[in-house]
Amino acid sequence: MQIVLENERIECPEGMSLYELSGKYRDNYTYPVIVAKVNGVIQELYHTVIEDSQVEFCTTEDPDGHRAYVRGISMLLMKAVHDEIGRDNPQLRVSVEYSLDTGYYCRFSEPMEISLELLERLQNRMRDYVKQNLIFEKYVIRTRDAREMFEGLGMDQKAKLMEYRRNSRMTVYHLGNFMDYYYGAMPYSTSILQYFRLKKFEDGFVFIVPKRQKPLTIPEYKPSTKLFHTMESANDWHSKLQVSSVGELNEQIVRGNFTELMLTQEALHEKRIGDLAEDIANRGCRIVTIAGPSSSGKTTFSYRLSTQLKTLGLRPHPIGLDDYFVNRVDTPKDEKGDYDYECLEAIDIKQFNVDLNALLDGKPVQLPTYNFITGMREYDKPVLQLDSDEILVIEGIHGLNDKLTYSIPRQNKYKIYISALTTLNLDEHNRIPTTQARLIRRIIRDARTRGNSARKTISMWNSVRRGESKNIFPFQEEADAMFNSALLYELAAMKLYADPVLFQVPKDCREYAEAQRLLKFLDYFIPVDPHDVPLNSILREFIGGGILLN
């Protein structure tokens, strides 16, 4: 029979599996093939090749391939824990909490000493499974049976997730004697999972995997301590609210507790913003810089922070970093020859610092306005002169980089890192990446405010993330404070906005697989009425209808 493989029509025997087909063309790929994209949908390699289908193989360097690799390592770890120490302690469980640098933070369900010897034993077990080339066997069972099975195994969050599933059937995976559920495609076998490492961290440990760009190298682990404690704080509050997983969130919604949960979350945000304002005032800082990745809610946060500063007798004044772009003819270009507005050199740093110092000295300054049509700076704003009770609030991609404000003494600056650090997970072993929640935020906002299709937003996302990795994440530990803009309920509130936009992505484009993945993910959530969201919520920056933004 004939198929189209990577835009080339080929012949293959009837009944051939995708795994066999990938082996035949192994030399065409730099990195190992782990899953396939068949007619735009991600599939595991055990599937049989279908006549006239269009097949693309995803390696461990591809986003979908890397996600499958992480899921495979996770199940490998769970089986090792089960076989090495779980037999003597049947109640012992391991949960995968969140990602930190190139590692995924894990915690045991019961307090125990995590020694280097224990991690070495688990790691050796995992390596043995890799050598044994165990197959990830997939089975379809009744959802009701799966729920009862997970309850019996003590995986309460998985059981709770299944309680609110509409589908009568679901898939589970067997790896030797161990069974689990994973959201998304899995590898064909353990032989591909050669690169990993376990390392103790805080009161748990991390499993470290290669970066997507270097899938055959185990990177050095450089944890962000401030980020970890910010996420731990959110995790503690989730536990107090008894909502640590999507199943528990759905339960609260079904029981009619959504309004109380939402208002509590919003109150926690407001308290945290108030605490930041007090810290700024107590330190006597005259410049506040705010930076964070795309769709973190920076604009709404800056408005709410300014309001809290006003309650303390301060008068915040916003400065737009974009107005200090160099003239377009002087703007650096990227490797594709396009203007690179995200690099630091796109900003007239020298003039920016001259103006900042003049303002702090109480001198009158006429600030520029960048004309995006002409590509030139213009001076048409009223002259600004600061009094002693006025401070500057600067929001921009380079806000954490000291090179931006090189002439300002460190004690005069207060740097805030903001991001939507999702700590709510699907269940014990299926985490929700923070990038996924941010992408859904951006899809909704771009469709509403810019008329962009979900396809266009998805197509730009990898480029956006590359810019974040270069200009924001390396400086996050230098922040004086971190603000987590994620809200426990936001995905349930965004579902009704996201679904229609995602369903519009056509089948014959590369973004279709990602759109389908997001739709499948949102199916786990029971939707809530977004009209109940407070008008000053950070979520309003994306779904609209707020009082802080036009």
- For 385, the token pair is 């002169």
Provide the pLDDT confidence category of residue 101 given band limits of 50, 70 and 90.
confident
pLDDT 10s digits, 36-82 = 999 999 999 999 999 999 999 999 999 999 999 999 999 999 999 99
Give me the chain's average pLDDT, please.
Answer: 93
Mean of pLDDT values over 424-436: 92
CB 461 within 8 A of CB 439: yes
> Residue 345 pLDDT > 90, yes or no?
yes
261's enclosing H/E stretch is helix 258-283
Which pairing describes strands 287-291 and 413-419: parallel, antiparallel, or unpaired? parallel
Residue 543: what pLDDT? 96
How far apart CA 349 and CA 345 sit, in angstroms, is: 8
Secondary structure, 3-state, 84-138: HHHCCCCCCCEEEEEEECCEEEEEECCCCCCCHHHHHHHHHHHHHHHHHCCECEE
pTM score: 0.93
pLDDT band at 448 (very low <50, low <70, confident <90, very high): very high
Encoded tokens for 302: 């800056």
pLDDT of residue 550: 60
Which of 144-148, 310-314, 376-380, 546-550 bottoms out in mean pLDDT, i.e. has the lowest?
546-550
Structure-block tokens of residue 414: 């207060």
Counting residues of the chain whose pLDDT is more than 70, the rounded percentage is: 100
Query: For 150, which DSSP code?
Result: H
* Mean pLDDT, residues 68-97 taken together: 90
Beta 137-142 vs 204-208: how paired, if at all?
Answer: unpaired
Give the pLDDT band (50/70/90) at residue 321: confident
> Mean pLDDT, to the nearest integer, of 436-453?
94
Instruction: Give the pLDDT confidence score for residue 92 in this predicted structure.
Output: 80
Gyration radius of the chain over CA positions: 25
List, in order, residues 6 or more apart from 74 with CB less than 8 Å away. Answer: 96, 104, 182, 207, 429
Span 116-140, mean pLDDT?
96
The per-residue pLDDT for 166 is: 86
Backbone angles phi, psi at 364, to 5 degrees: -75, 140
